[in-house]
Amino acid sequence: MNDILYINGQIYTVDSSKSWAEAVAVKSGKITFVGTNDEAKSIEAKETVDLDGKMMLPGFIEAHGHVTWGAIDSLFKVSLFGADNVEFYIETIRKFVQENPELPVYEGAGWENPFFGKNGPSRKVLDEICSDKPMLMWSHDKHSLWVNTYVLDLCGIDKNTQVPAGNVIEREDDGTPSGTLREFAAIALVDSVKPVFNKEHYKKAIEWVQKDFAQYGVTSIMDPLLDPEDDAIAAIRELNDEGRLICKMRGALKSSETDSYKHIDEFPKIREDVDSHMFKIQQVKLFADGVVEGKTAFLKQPYEGENYAGDPIWNKDDMNEFCRKVDELGFDIHVHSIGDAATSMTLDALDFINEKNPSRDRRPVITHLQIVDSADYSRIKQHKVAAVTNPYWHFKYRGFFEDIEVPYLGERAYHEYPMKSLLDAGIILGGASDYNVTPVPAPLRGIQIGVTRVGIDENPDDMDLVLAPEERLSVEQMVELFTMGNAYALRMEDITGSIEVGKCADLVILEENIFEIPHQDIYKVKVIQTVSEGKIIYKG
């Protein structure tokens, strides 16, 4: 006998036929039946739930969300998200310091580049708040770190300090570091003063963040930057052993910024130790470049009005060889790529490793893809790359589009973040929030913006507001991104991502059918229930 039978639903299955159903049965966490109400009359179940016309979709999948550090940010750091002006940052940090005098280090996250000049925020602002303890404030995209003079002095960062190509120490006119460090090798210079969070911190954070995601209909989460040197992996494993993971967790191991091979020989053992139905680590993350707002994205053509096109994080031969080693160990690569030159360089690495081992069933992921050369579309398809995009950003973002992207990219800004052109080229698309770069990781918001290409409360009929209208996708296509597209990216398509017999009962029930309402109202639709492995993990 089945545990539960859902009837009278508008159920979009996202199966290969893109079929609809009215009823679904679940037993022991698996789907045992998908069909019509009439067919369901013969199904026996301990409980029958009348959906009364509500919509059911496969549980959403987060294919790239920094949930461990994002949850740590939310629970244990000062939040700088949601500012309207610089004073917000100053007063928020000042209040946090006043309320937490016992902390040995003050750390925060969420400031945005448009509120500051091209050199970023100054150490002197933080010095006025606290000059005798370390202060480390991460930008919202985690590619820049704002520090006070105390940190610079403690870590010996001065006029003579140099960093690898693709990284930046912003400086005052006389060469003195101004207080902003950009990209991870530069940021690694202050690793010695960062707060250390233990396993219990991470367990508390991960339990909290699972519930946070569940309210948005998410049943599987990929953390793309798990560090072998911290306790996050051990915390997730312990939660899994204790039966306290309510979402399936997947991860990518972080390659060291300063020594790429530092832990690589340990990667297979880490993968083996955590390997389970609910938690797997199958990818290794690397950065091909930085971000446009820091002028650290690697472009094929120079930044507007300059002779500088950015630098790659990697030397080409080094990247090829590192990816070959990762591939040899049986991991998939998960590559941060913002600029078109960075994507081409990543594809070159895939060419290289494919020549070395053409028979391997690899599943490479390239994420973000802000500027992509259409000449590379065929190569992306050829390598069966999962293009994990961030539709939450695909609009003319306040402060960024007019103040940074257009001045830095020129005409390229008006065609950034391709979607439909990638899909039309036969490329497999996924969708992700990059949480907590996106503080509200609600897939319905991502779906709406992918369809409208305007801000969440903006008019999609006002074409002056629309970013690259030719890149709009349909609701059906966007739903597939957050379900089967992401399942492919995470090697989970055999167990989740669609509502089919034999798959896990990972489901989300919505108050309304998002295919039938105005596109600008999709994000308003209430999540009634989120079901993972047949169990209710959120009830609205």
Kindly report, residue by residue over 455-493, the tens digit of the pLDDT.
Answer: 999 999 999 999 999 999 999 999 999 999 999 999 999
333: CB partners within 8 A, 6+ apart: 283, 284, 286, 323, 326, 327, 346, 349, 350, 364, 365
pLDDT, the chain, mean: 96
CATH number at residue 11: 2.30.40.10
Which pLDDT score is estimated for 141? 87
| pLDDT surpasses 70 at 246 | yes
Which pLDDT score is estimated for 118? 84
Same-domain status, 188 and 291: no
| pLDDT surpasses 80 at 526 | yes
Tell me whether residue 461 is in a domain: yes
d(CA 29, CA 454) in angstroms, rounded, equals 38
Tell me whether residue 181 is in a domain: yes
The per-type count for the chain, helices as H runs and strands as E runs, is 17, 24
Task: Please compute, for residue 323, the number of CA atoms within 13 A of its CA located in the half-sphere on the CB side.
Answer: 31
Mean pLDDT to the nearest integer, 153-161: 96
Same-domain status, 189 and 222: no
Same-domain status, 234 and 359: yes
102: CB partners within 8 A, 6+ apart: none
Same-domain status, 182 and 212: no
Which pLDDT score is estimated for 140? 86
| Cα separations in angstroms, 65 against 6, 68, 390, 440 | 31, 9, 10, 11
Per-residue pLDDT tens over the stretch 364-400? 999 999 999 999 999 999 999 999 999 999 999 988 8
Sign of CA dihedral 471, 291, 428, 219: negative
% of the chain with per-residue pLDDT over 70: 100
| pLDDT surpasses 80 at 256 | no
Tell me whether residue 496 is in a domain: no
Same-domain status, 276 and 154: no
Same-domain status, 253 and 302: yes
Tell me whether residue 494 is in a domain: no
Mean pLDDT to the nearest integer, 390-417: 96
The residues that bridge with 285 in the sheet, in sequence order, are 254, 334
Same-domain status, 8 and 94: no
Per-residue pLDDT tens over the stretch 164-183? 988 999 999 999 999 999 99
Per-residue pLDDT tens over the stretch 2-31? 999 999 999 999 999 999 999 999 999 999
Tell me whether residue 142 is in a domain: yes
Same-domain status, 229 and 116: no
Same-domain status, 254 and 105: no
Tell me whether residue 495 is in a domain: no
User: How far out from the chain centre does Cα 220 lie?
Assistant: 13
Same-domain status, 178 and 271: no
* Segments forming the whole domain that contains residue 235: 199-489
Closest CA to 249 of 205, 219, 213, 225: 219
| pLDDT surpasses 70 at 257 | no
CATH number at residue 294: 3.20.20.140
Domain count, the chain: 3
Quick check: 538 and 215 in contact, CB under 8 A? yes
Which pLDDT score is estimated for 461? 97
CATH number at residue 121: 3.10.310.70
Cα angle for residues 68, 116, 143 (degrees, 5° grid): 30
* Strand order across the beta sheet in which 168-171 lies: 78-79, 106-111, 135-139, 144-147, 177-182, 168-171
The residue written with tokens 């992509």 in the block is 372
Same-domain status, 22 and 149: no
Which pLDDT score is estimated for 196? 85
Tell me whether residue 497 is in a domain: no
Which pLDDT score is estimated for 387? 98
Tell which of 193, 210, 229 closes a domain: 193
Q: Higher-confidence residue: 180 or 75?
A: 180
Tell me whether residue 111 is in a domain: yes
d(CA 208, CA 219) in angstroms, rounded, equals 14
Quick check: 28 and 535 in contact, CB under 8 A? no
User: How far out from the chain centre does Cα 401 lie?
Assistant: 20
Tell which of 129, 158, 193 closes a domain: 193
Quick check: 337 and 288 in contact, CB under 8 A? yes
Which pLDDT score is estimated for 290? 95
d(CA 235, CA 268) in angstroms, rounded, equals 18
Same-domain status, 107 and 248: no
Tell which of 147, 170, 193 closes a domain: 193
Q: What is the 3-state secondary structure (H, E, C) of 225-269?
A: EECCCCCHHHHHHHHHHCCCCCCEEEEEEECCCCCCCCCHHHHHH
Which pLDDT score is estimated for 103? 86
Which pLDDT score is estimated for 94? 96
Mean pLDDT to the nearest integer, 410-417: 98
